[in-house]
Every structure is written in C-alpha cells, then in structure tokens.
C-alpha cells in the first residue's frame, strides 16, 4: 500500500505530515545542557546520554557531605569520573563544585557555561537528597530544613539562574525538574522531618513546573517534571536506607512497583529525559512524566517491590 505524503502549513512554515524514518528525533547536536547533581547517579547518566546524542554539558555538584543525609554523597573523584565519561563521547563539558543552595555561586556557574558555549537549550534540575532519619529522629528539624533548601529552593535557584539565559539565547528549549512518585501519590508520614520534607518538596516541584511552563511557553521553552520510582543509586542502595526500610515497613509497602522489579536503573530515567528534551517531545509541556514500573498507576498483583528492603552487600 502506497503512502501519500501530505503537506500542510503551520503559520508561515511548511511541514510534512509524514517524516523520514531515518530522521533522528533525539539528535542534540549543537545543543547545550545544564545539569545539577551531575557527579553520579541519575545526573551522570543524563549527562552521558545527552552527550552521546550530541549535547555539550555544563554540570554542577556539591561534592561534600550534608550532615543530615545518612548515606555518602558524591565526591570530587565522582565528578572527575563523570567529566571523563562525557569527554569520552567526544563532547565538551564544563563541570564545577557548586552547592545549589548558593544562588550566587550557581548563577556564576550558569553564566560561565553560557559564556563558554554561547547558548543554553536544556536544563535538568536533578540534584537531590533523601535525608530520612532513623529513630529517635534527633536531627529531624534540621533534616526538614536541609531537604527543603536542596529539593525545592535548589530547584528554584536553578530555574532563576538559567531561564534568563535561555530567553536571551532565543532558541527555545526544554527544562526537566526531577520529582518522584512521592510527588504523585499519597503516603503516610513517619513524623520524621527528612521524610516529610522530601514528600512536600516533590509535590511542590510540580507546582513550580506548572507555573514556569505557563510563563515560558511564549518563548518556546517547555517545562516538565519526571517522577521515578526507586532508582538503583546510592540514595536507595545504602546501608542507611536498608535500616530505614526495616523501620518503616508500612511506608515501604506504599511504594511497591506493579512490575516485578524492586527498582529501575538510572538509564531508564535518562531515556525518558532524552525524549522530553529532544525533538520527539517538542510539544510536551506542563506534563508529569511518570517512570514508575506501575507503582502509581496500576494495582500490585504480584511481588513487585513489595519487599523493598535492600541489602547493600548483595
């Protein structure tokens, strides 16, 4: 059966309703991406995948410990490894040690990247922590404040530092803020400041996304959130998280996946991010992209992640 190619006009532009099957809808050649939390985990995975598809990278990470976080955070060695991995793709990267709570320093990093590469097309507000506490919650109030400062104020700082550069460049673009399944479905409190703040911030990120998506649409800048289930990173594979899950079995059950996997890999999230920031997602904005193995969308009939207690030595 023959395929008829139909042309139509959108404004002053002609477009083909049928695209070439050889067209690479994920080609990011000539684009520049700004990524927070780049030293390891999802941030590293995003950076490498976007670089493999042609993007140059500007990245930041705190590379030091936050007192209320019970698992080891990324180091300068981790950041150097990410730099090497991006450079191995043939793309350029400018990486620096920055705490996203520091608005001035974050602005400096964004401006330096813009000066180096001359444009900014993609922003991934990815950096985050899970400052869950173990009983008797002696650092609960500080964990609440640290979590809000990083997860929501840090995301806002990232937007404030990068959006003016995207508008100035005039190339449109895409922003993805990392939320969580904790920002979609209802879960009960543990009375721990770190856990409560994580839940509150992940919901708040959605409101931030919707607000910016509406304002930036006229600049052809799309803004979305991504909502992963548990991801195979040190945040949830640590000894600290194993102890948390053993204390909070009721909470853990509420995060059971429908598909028979306890968690997904960073690349699973990165592939959805790639879709959102590339040509294939060109008309997606104000959207909550859920990558959750069915956790928030369907009932759990099988094992899934119902026994979400991880052995960090396994």
The catalytic residues are 198
CB 128 within 8 A of CB 178: yes
Annotate 207-231 with b (16+ C-beta within 10 A) or e (fewer). ebbbebbeebeeeebbbbbbbbbbb
Which of 127, 114, 125, 126 has its CA nearest to residue 58? 114
Residue whose C-alpha is closest to residue 193's, from 276, 122, 134, 257: 134
Question: What value does the CA radius of gyration of the chain take, rounded to a whole number of Å?
Answer: 20
Residue 11's Cβ-count burial label (10 Å; 0-12, 13-18, 19+) is: exposed
Angstrom distance (rounded) from CA 313 to CA 159? 38
């Amino acid at each position: 059966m023959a395929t008829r190619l139909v042309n139509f006009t959108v404004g002053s532009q002609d477009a083909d309703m049928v695209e070439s099957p050889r067209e690479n809808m994920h080609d990011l050649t000539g684009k520049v991406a700004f990524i927070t939390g780049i030293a390891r985990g999802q941030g590293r995975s995003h950076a490498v995948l976007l670089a493999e598809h042609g993007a140059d990278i500007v990245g930041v990470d705190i590379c030091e410990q936050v007192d209320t976080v019970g698992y080891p955070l990324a180091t300068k060695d981790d950041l150097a490894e990410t730099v090497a991995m991006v450079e191995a793709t043939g793309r350029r990267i400018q990486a620096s040690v920055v705490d996203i709570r520091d608005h001035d320093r974050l602005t400096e990093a964004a401006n330096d990247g813009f000066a180096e590469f001359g444009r900014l097309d993609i922003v991934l507000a990815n950096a985050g922590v899970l400052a869950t506490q173990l009983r008797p919650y002696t650092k609960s109030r500080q964990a609440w404040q640290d979590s809000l400062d990083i997860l929501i104020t840090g995301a806002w700082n990232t937007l404030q530092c990068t959006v003016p550069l995207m508008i100035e460049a005039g190339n449109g673009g895409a922003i993805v803020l990392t939320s969580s399944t904790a920002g979609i479905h209802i879960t009960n409190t543990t009375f721990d400041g770190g856990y409560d703040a994580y839940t509150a911030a992940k919901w708040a990120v959605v409101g931030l996304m919707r607000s910016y998506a509406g304002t930036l649409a006229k600049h052809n800048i799309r803004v979305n959130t991504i909502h992963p289930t548990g991801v195979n990173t040190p945040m949830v594979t640590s000894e600290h998280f194993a102890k948390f899950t053993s204390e909070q079995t009721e909470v853990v059950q509420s995060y059971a996946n429908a598909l028979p996997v306890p968690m997904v890999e960073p690349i699973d999230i990165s592939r959805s991010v790639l879709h959102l920031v590339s040509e294939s997602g060109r008309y997606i904005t104000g959207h909550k992209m859920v990558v959750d193995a069915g956790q928030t969308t369907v009932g759990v009939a099988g094992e899934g992640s119902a026994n979400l207690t991880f052995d960090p030595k396994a």
